A and B are shown apart, each in its own frame.
Chain A
């Protein structure tokens, strides 16, 4: 079976998420069986199965549905929680996207048990967990590195390292988490130093201000993959603070496995996100310094083999590839009715067209153009045998035109979608209806 991981753009393949989650699964699978393709290539791909990831384009649900309708096996993979906090207005369009995607695909996979538990109530069948894989690791070099660290470490003056993306566009994360937990990095009598390795331009003013009050001296460095590897290889302790928001607490073990695999001690602060690795990490810096004095660090040379075995159990690329294959093999595609998409604002017309959907819209090009009259073109006209429908004679509503005033149009968009749905259901009652709209929909 040939599997395509559908990503939002070709550039996304270089992102940390794609490299960590998908490239490692691809590397562990039989050569040539899994590849990443951008969304625009999905409709013409010869793959047998498709895993959609982060394709937040509003046309993606229609495209996924069209692949399923063609008999392909289609799944959705989620590794960031933009969907479970129903109190967050900003994420309403993501929740709409998720619900539409969930209707379009056969199955949903997630990166963590926490995500699975949160998303299950929104799904007909429970999601399957595929953990973020860790890079392959041999115990011997790790043991050597751990022995070096143990010999060198000064419990009163630790080299602390925080690495990662400075901030998230939607959530308090990154440096904000570090700032919140920074006070606990300076127990009395200590002379610890902290290196922050990040894209500092992305740091919020508030996080920087908070961090300027951190009670440890800080050295800033610009992040790069190479620099991260170099500093992880020399730091005593990687600090992994976790925020309490739903976004942060659904994250994978990846940061902890990366740091531990590089031979650093790990101090996990905040919610116990990394609990499956508890035997190898610390929750309090005092425990770490006490153990360092005794020469009995949790992550030490004599445990290197145990750690690599644990890593193989918790975060294996081979296991991820096997699970993915098993999920797709279990899917039995069934015939689906044709679909119609109500095109709202910000929708990618070419992607919608590639999905083979009938497009019901308020402006050209649309197969069903709604306004004071309903004009039908091409396949829509063929299916219904007419080219023009007067809404009044069929008892159908007329959608109001947009005014150009944002809030007035919020009201009108609600009325337009309500009208469009009634028209779609009246004209094509055997079709599945999707709403592709890249904005908020007023209740």
Chain B
């Protein structure tokens, strides 16, 4: 029990008896008609009626009026929402808040908010950001009035009266990154709610994080509650390691977003147990990453109809060394639970050139290492393939027993005769990747002839790498293996994949060595070889730095179903969210 701290000797009394699940139950006694006020920095932002009859109090305060004329003295006040607003506001800008009744005053301390967004789905049927300075909510008619409070040294308050029917109400906000206190007046009485992270709402910069992680029963309220509890419980700000040009991006055009990131992350070395979170140009950290362990990137194309992908990239130092301009990405065991960054990439159809040459044609790259070529049985003539390989150090093989090919250290490039190497550096990249220790196979991007319905250049591109993937927004994760369309949304990288498409794959000596009893001219031989290599702990890699052209992709059946999620070794995960 606590007595009001300003009540001594005054005519008004304010007492809070207990706080349960963020709700304070108490009573207040004073002159007739007095209301409770929530004051932030001394300013009244909302008033609260006393609606709970308290016969136990009436005798104590000497109220002798009849039950008909006696004012109710008890109240329930959502202390948790206000305490959470204070706690989630950085200390330098945190206001003070108090519940007052006449001269009596109960100071509210910052504290855990408990459950947040509790009114979503009840008094408020939907809630989103119309733009970075306007919150919009849909009501079903039971909400009469809503007051919005934000605090940033100064108090910001907005109010709207809601019609008694289904309606959309717009409220101005001061800061899309700052917690919002909503004070609601409904048919059933007064309620309060906390939106701890408005940026998680639809239209906010972290909306993709909601999409990626709030698919379960808990939804957005659960995610908001979890994240606010984790943010308040952490002992150190998350250390950030931004690239030199990190902030030089339009994604940080709103200065309040940049301020939020730098207030909740640290650029200095500190005692945090977590490794520094690398941020490359165009990326913002997720709220989960600011609170704790996280990895993987959500790639968002903000264009109308743009896609959103969750990319959990796995790679290793040797692979990075083998490729141009490596961009290190941490291994990602927990990526599906907590992605680390959101990268905004505007994907425009720029024609085929950037896909034919993801690494520009005038960028130097090393020459190919010696390799052997096995042309798979196929419908196309092999002339164009051989012509495109002219000048590269290869020797054609006739031996069809795969295990016999393992006697030579040179990797074997298996290619459908419809494959065309328009970029000699693709061969160089594949031979380099096949030379990395414990790599069984390597593949590149494949560009197909245009087929009906393929309207943009991106439609024609996929990766020879088969990723564990399942494209659904809110279904549980069920790993399956398949090709993914490769657009500019996937960061240019070399990925560890479950297997590679047999239409174009280079197999290392180690990979060939597990091919006992397999004949590469037979159907299914290569899928079986790749599956065996995975089972034996060898890795398959696919690069999006280079591409090859596949003239036969539209007539050839897709990869055989022999591939399953490999039991051993990390692989990159890719999941389309929208």
Contacts and interface: CB of A to CB of B under 8 A. Distances in A.
Query: Does B associate with A?
Result: yes
Interface of A: 86-90, 92, 95-96, 172, 176-177, 180-184, 186, 188, 204-206, 209-210, 213-215, 241, 243-244, 269-271, 284, 400, 405-408, 410-412, 415, 440-443
A442 B250 contact: no
Nearest to A411: B388
Given A243-B250, A244-B250, A214 B390 contact: no
Interface string B331-374: 00000000000000010101111101111111101000000000
A352 B365 CA distance: 33
Nearest to A208: B304
Given A89-B361, A188-B156, A407 B134 contact: no
Contacts of A90: 350-351, 353-354
Contacts of A406: 352
B420 A270 contact: no
20 contacts: A89-B354, A89-B356, A172-B346, A180-B250, A180-B253, A183-B131, A183-B253, A183-B256, A184-B253, A184-B254, A188-B156, A206-B302, A213-B131, A271-B248, A405-B551, A407-B447, A410-B356, A411-B422, A441-B361, A442-B361
A244 B447 CA distance: 31
A137 to B, nearest CB: 32
Q: Which of B133, B251, B358 has the most CB of A within 10 A?
A: B133
Given A172-B250, A213-B130, A411 B420 contact: yes
Interface in B299-319: 302-304, 306
Given A209-B304, A213-B132, A407-B356, A244 B249 contact: yes
B152 to A, nearest CB: 8
B445 to A, nearest CB: 13
B424 to A, nearest CB: 6
Given A215-B134, A411-B422, A86 B362 contact: yes
B239 to A, nearest CB: 24
Contacts of A442: 357, 361, 422-424
Contacts of B303: 205-206, 209
Nearest to A406: B352
Interface in B224-282: 245, 248-251, 253-256
Contacts of B361: 89, 92, 440-443
A89 B488 CA distance: 13
Contact of A411 (B172, B249, B421): B421
A286 to B, nearest CB: 10
Contacts of A243: 250
A95 B354 CA distance: 15
Nearest to B324: A87
B432 interface: no
A183 B254 contact: yes
Given A180-B250, A440-B353, 7 more contacts: A206-B346, A209-B304, A210-B302, A408-B387, A408-B388, A411-B420, A442-B423
Contacts of A443: 361-362, 365, 423-425
B384 interface: yes
Interface string B374-411: 00000000001001101000000000000000000000
* Among all A-B residue pairs, the 8 with the closest Cβ atoms: A180-B253, A180-B250, A215-B133, A183-B254, A183-B132, A206-B303, A188-B174, A213-B131
Contacts of B363: 86-87
B203 interface: yes
Contacts of B387: 400, 408, 411-412
B93 to A, nearest CB: 14
A173 B420 CA distance: 36
A182 B172 CA distance: 15
A237 to B, nearest CB: 17
B7 to A, nearest CB: 34
